[in-house]
Amino acid sequence: MAGAHTTRTRTEVGPSGFASRGCVAGCGPVSKIRFAGRPQWLPVLAIGLAGLVSVGSSAAGSVAKAPLPLERIARIVLPGRPARFDYQSLDAEAGRLYLNQMGAGRLLVFDVRKRRLVAALGGFADATGVLAVPSPRRVFVSSPGDLWDKAIGGGRVIAVDGATLERLGAVDVGRFPDGLSFVPKLNRVFVSDEIGGELSVFDARTLRSIGNVPLGGEAGMNAYDPKGDHVWVNDQSNLRLLAVNPKTLVIAARIELPATCRHNHGLLLDALDRLAFIGCDSNARLLLFDLARHAVQGVYRVGKDPDVMAYDSRRRLLYVASESGVVSLFRLRDGRLAPLGRAWLGDNAHSVSVDPASGESYFPIRDDHGHSALWIERPVGPALSR
């Protein structure tokens, strides 16, 4: 069907690296597909009959309005037992995608050009945020640690050499380090300590701690706005968006967000247009926020428990992934978001990244018929029209 999410795969690669026959969505053991609050065979039957990705209200927060205009072009089976993923970071210049497999405590390194796994690095307990920095070529991984580490504030950010993949050291960062951003001109990394309620800052080269910015509540995600020269961060306990001066570490603005958003955790910026996308994970909403005017431009419905977002600046497509496995796709046009589709994609498909050069998006799937897998999608139909 034109414009619908196709269920065929162009390439399917297993742990051995050999290609195998593509798999239709919904095939394999029914027990591998989980839906909350309803018999598992009903949605699977619906997928099989309709050939579209859709789901009932218990999993999505609301019935999907339209199929996703995406086509699956590859399915990469990942080694090890099924495990939850968290954030990803794409080094476009090197052609490497870094994925935190949180449930396995691993950092996966994937070559997006050759479509193969380069390395699976262990020792990143409960890995959450990840950020690839081009200069110096390093990868920073937030690792809250085990339960004891979280209790005593033993969270760390681990630095990895982007060329050799060797560990370079670690920085102590509070109780639950999560999202990261980078300010190139100052060579500083900003880390959201979610439980500690602070924005922690350290030098990307020396790994020396520079300071902490108390937020007043739990720290959601943070992002750097180069035009406004501020690091923006969510105070998710108090429904506020804060602007922090990256040099002085002084809070320059505290902006109250509307009650139409509950628990503003997710944050992604369109730096060119100075817009912020804010994910509200307690009520399945997305805010479009104008950073220059300090004003909300729109409120949109997304899947239940929205988490990671990715923006294709070339095609002006916004991907919003959610813990429920529902993915929402929007096009940014004239300062507003136009919904293109919202549907269940895969098990715990709450993490996404996109390569604006190719238009390919990457979705790590927790359990795909007994294995974790990386699904590669590309836009089709209405998502390609300008």
Residue 4 belongs to a domain: no
Position 84 pLDDT exceeds 60? yes
pLDDT in tens, 133-184: 998 999 999 999 887 777 677 899 999 999 999 999 999 999 999 999 999 9
Sign of CA dihedral 211, 217, 219, 220: negative
Residue 77 within a domain = no
How far apart are the C-alpha atoms of 329 and 339, rounded to whole Å? Answer: 6
Q: With contact defined as beta carbons under 8 Å apart, do 343 and 327 qualify?
A: yes
5 pLDDT more than 90: no
**59 neighbors 47 (Cβ within 8 angstroms):** no
Give yes or no for residue 295 having a pLDDT over 50. Answer: yes
Between CA 169 and CA 159 the distance in angstroms is 6
Please report the sign of the dihedral spanned by the C-alpha atoms of residue 236, residue 141, residue 273, residue 313.
Answer: negative
Q: Quote the longest CA-to-CA distance of the chain.
A: 59
Q: What is the pLDDT of residue 159?
A: 98
Asked whether residue 16 is assigned to any structural domain, the reply reads no
The pLDDT value given to residue 65: 56
Residue 61 lies in a domain: no
Question: How much is the pLDDT for 382?
Answer: 73
For residue 168, which of 134, 140, 190, 143 has the smallest C-alpha distance? Answer: 140
Reported for 48-52, long-range contacts at CB under 8 A and 24+ positions apart, including other chains, are: 51/1, 51/4, 51/7, 52/1, 52/4, 52/5, 52/343
Mean pLDDT confidence for 235-264: 98
Residue 171 to residue 200: CA distance in whole angstroms: 10
**Amino acid 146: pLDDT:** 81
Cα(286)–Cα(264) distance, integer angstroms: 9
The answer to whether residue 88 scores a pLDDT higher than 80 is: yes
Write the DSSP symbol of residue 30. Answer: G
Lowest-confidence segment of 14-28, 61-75, 356-370 by average pLDDT: 14-28
Over range 291-299, report the average pLDDT: 97
Integer distance in angstroms from the first to the last C-alpha of the chain?
20
Residue 31, pLDDT score: 27
What pLDDT sits at residue 183? 98
Q: Please state which of the ranges 35-49, 74-88, 203-217, 320-334 shows the lowest mean pLDDT.
A: 35-49
Instruction: Quote the pLDDT of residue 153.
Output: 75
**pLDDT at residue 7, rounded to an integer:** 35
Q: Domain for residue 30, yes or no?
A: no
The pLDDT of residue 160 = 98
State the CATH number of the domain containing residue 207: 2.130.10.10
Q: What is the pLDDT of residue 44?
A: 31
Q: Please give the Cα distance from 182 to 129 (Å, whole number).
A: 13
pLDDT mean across residues, the chain: 86
Joined together, the tokens standing for residue 336 give: 């507003």
Residue 2 falls inside a structural domain: no
Domain count, the chain: 1
CA distances to 38, 242, 311, 350 from 232, in Å: 40, 6, 17, 22
User: Domain of 326?
Assistant: 82-362
Q: Is the pLDDT of residue 231 over 90?
A: yes
> Would you say residue 164 lies in a domain?
yes
Question: Among 86, 311, 305, which Cα is nearest to 179's?
Answer: 86
Query: How far apart are alpha carbons 284 and 307 in whole angstroms?
Result: 10
Check pLDDT > 50 for residue 6.
no
pLDDT band at 221 (very low <50, low <70, confident <90, very high): very high
Q: Which amino acid is at 115?
A: R
pLDDT digits (tens, 9 = 90+) for 7-58: 333 344 443 333 332 332 333 322 222 223 333 333 332 333 233 333 333 3
When mean pLDDT is compared across 55-64, 327-336, 367-376, the lowest value belongs to 55-64
Mean pLDDT of the region 299-327: 98
Please state the pTM of the whole predicted model.
0.84
Question: Exposure of 21 by Cβ count < 10 A (0-12 exposed, 13-18 middle, 19+ buried)?
Answer: exposed
Q: Is residue 153 part of a domain?
A: yes
Q: What percent of the chain has pLDDT over 70?
A: 82
User: What is the length of the chain?
Assistant: 386
Note whether 146 and 125 are within 8 A (CB). Answer: yes
Q: Is the pLDDT of residue 233 over 90?
A: yes
Q: What is the pLDDT of residues 175-218, one digit of tens each?
A: 999 999 999 999 999 999 999 999 999 999 999 999 999 999 99
